[in-house]
Amino acid sequence: MSGSERHLARPFEREVVEEALKKHGIVYKCVGREIHADCEQTGHKTHKLNPEKGVYLTSDGRGGTISALLREMNILGVRSKEEGGYVRKDDRNQKQIEDILENSVRVSTIRKDSPPQWREGKAALRKYLASRGLPFMLPAESRMAIRRDGVDLIVPLINDRDEKSIHLTALTKTGEKRPLAWLDGESRYTMGPMMAPGGSHAFAAVAPGERRQKVEGHSEIYAIGEGLESVLSGCFLSGWYGIFAVNANGMRSFLSDPDTPDAFRKKGASLAILVDRDVSGTGQIAAAHLASAAQKHGIPFLFLVPPPSVKGGKKGADWNDALQELGPERAQFAFSLAIVRSGEEFQQACDLLDHTKRGGNANVGAGIRATVR
């Protein structure tokens, strides 16, 4: 970590950081003044957080501020000492969510005779999806809110609690991501509980297409992934049902609630796991955990990794990157090839997962990069 980054560090109360990690299902242990946490979901406590100094250090020598780490993990609402030092209370959080939902409209209800601002907002959503190589397709319950400087796409999430959860993407009127100052330029965030006491994680469902890709040995297939655009891309390329799991924790814990694997077995349904090929290895490890759980519960699955030719961004590549870079026809071919290679890719991920369980987490990112290229 550079001297300028250390200068930007904000101290936190340790209890505040603990509460935030606990709320988001992150395994941690307090060691003296430090918190040792499994922030990358590898099964090992890879991050050492020092709340008093506001900084962290990883097992492979990386470091930074706790503020930046929490934003990267999509853990919002955590305040440093100078900001008041508390995690937003659930009741306040729920009131904010209720206000957002109350001042929004369900996207599927917007017609040609709807108010002009609604139609313009829907046009912005359409432009955004088109810029990602996608047709106009969203989770059925998706809502939209008009803002002075753009439009918010709001995806209500399903959970096993009475409290509401949402995932929000801020867009401009022309369908580009709209940076939010209070998120240091990020344009999307989640609100509400992500993890229920029983272990189930919040998610959103995507309806299947009219033409579904058939796979021998699999009848009804549900494509599950971390990112909304990645899941929509998987559904677009396959015509399968979709499950937007929100993040790596959602992937890992999707089958944690006993009712979920029971439902899959009763329906004879399969999981198509849309793997994020992350530079850090986080996406692959989360996907391998989910695939291992599916195997344990007797649920058929496909382990679908984007081809190594897809560059993606600095953090890695997903199936939306594949769709954008390859175009629909070539992405469809790559998707079909990924189905054929599913077993091989899963075995490689299992080998790397075993490596991390034996304590080799420091070089897991490099190992995954070498494997998938």
pLDDT at residue 92 in the model: 66
For residue 249, what are the contacts with CB-CB under 8 A and spacing of at least 6? 24, 25, 26, 41, 194, 195, 201, 286
For residue 370, the model assigns a pLDDT of 37
Contact, 276 vs 284, CB < 8 A? yes
What is the reported pLDDT for 359?
Answer: 61
Residue spans of alpha helices (H) in 103-187: 116-131
pLDDT of residue 7: 53
The secondary structure element, H or E, covering residue 205 is strand 204-206
Long-range contacts (CB closer than 8 Å, 24 or more residues apart) made by 112-120: 117/146, 118/144, 118/146, 120/173
Using an 8 Å Cβ cutoff, are 251 and 227 in contact? Answer: no
For domain 204-372, say whether CATH 3.40.50 is its number: yes
Give tens-digit pLDDT for 18-28.
888 877 778 88
Tokens 């550079």 sit at which residue?
Answer: 2
Q: Over the Cα atoms of the chain, what is R_g?
A: 20
In a 13 Å sphere around the CA of 149, the CA atoms on its Cβ side amount to: 8
Q: What is the DSSP string of 273-330?
A: EE--EESSSHHHHHHHHHHHHHHHTT--EEEE---TT---BTTEE-HHHHHHHHHHHH
The C-alpha atoms of residue 361 and residue 364 are separated, in whole angstroms, by 5
40 near 285, Cβ under 8 Å? yes
Residue 62 backbone phi and psi in degrees, to 5: -80, 155
Which residue in 160, 331, 329, 303 sits closest to 233, CA to CA? 331
**Calpha distance 284→278 (Å, rounded):** 7
Which amino acid makes up residue 74? N
Q: Give CA separation, 337 vs 212, 277, 279, 303, 348, in Å.
A: 16, 16, 22, 11, 16
Which residues have CB under 8 Å from 276's CB, separation 6+? 225, 226, 227, 230, 248, 282, 283, 284, 286, 287, 316, 317, 318
The confidence score (pLDDT) of residue 373 equals 35
Which residue has tokens 């979709």?
242
> Among 335, 327, 126, 134, which residue's Cα sits nearest to residue 229?
134
Ordered per-residue pLDDT tens for the chain, 373 residues: 555 455 578 899 888 898 888 777 788 888 988 999 999 888 889 999 999 999 999 998 999 999 999 988 878 777 777 766 554 445 667 888 999 999 999 999 999 999 999 999 999 999 999 999 999 999 999 999 999 999 999 999 988 777 889 999 999 999 999 999 888 888 999 888 776 555 557 899 999 887 899 999 999 999 999 999 999 999 999 999 999 999 888 898 899 888 899 999 999 999 999 999 998 888 999 999 999 999 999 999 999 999 999 999 998 999 999 999 999 999 999 999 999 999 999 998 888 777 666 665 534 444 433 333 3
What helix, strand, coil percent values describe the chain, rounded to 5?
Answer: 40, 20, 40
pLDDT at 248: 87
pLDDT of residue 91: 60
Report d(CA 277, CA 102) in Å as an integer: 37
